[in-house]
Amino acid sequence: MPDRVSRRATLQILIAAPVFGAALQACGKKDKPDSCTDVSGLSEGEKAARTALQYTDATPQPDKRCSGCNLYQPPVDPSQCGGCQVIKGPIHPDGYCTSWVAKV
Ligand code: SF4
């Protein structure tokens, strides 16, 4: 009899696990930041460089995103902004600038 209960409990866990996982994901951390436009910590020169390279949080070219750029520095926590070897300040994984270069 204990084997039957154990099997039932195992089946219940197997059925509930995906539902529980989806619920956790829905109310848990995001896989991308909302925005990476806070440049309040940058100097005027750094802001100017950002503007000169036409950085934007939302790429106008879907096949060219910061996350696919060789100069992108991904964050440890994917819900946070990343960095860039060229532009100072927060960088969105879906962003873009004119210095984009394919990841090797
Ligand atoms: Fe994004 Fe431009 Fe930096 Fe590449 S160089 S990661 S496209 S901001």
Looking from the CA of residue 84, the nearest atom of ligand 1 is: 3
Q: What tens digit of pLDDT does each residue of 24-66 get?
A: 455 567 999 999 999 999 999 999 999 999 999 999 999 999 9
Looking from the CA of residue 66, the nearest atom of ligand 1 is: 1
In angstroms, what is the span from residue 99 Cα to ligand 1's centroid?
A: 6
Nearest CA to ligand 1 atom 2: 97
pTM of the entire predicted model: 0.76
Query: Which residue type is seen at 45?
Result: G
φ, ψ of residue 47 to 5 degrees: the values are: -65, -40
**Residue bearing the bigger pLDDT, 83 or 19:** 83
Can you spell out the DSSP letters for 10-52? HHHHHHHHHHHHHHHHHHS--SS-S-----TTS-HHHHHHHHH
In angstroms, what is the span from residue 45 Cα to ligand 1's centroid?
A: 17
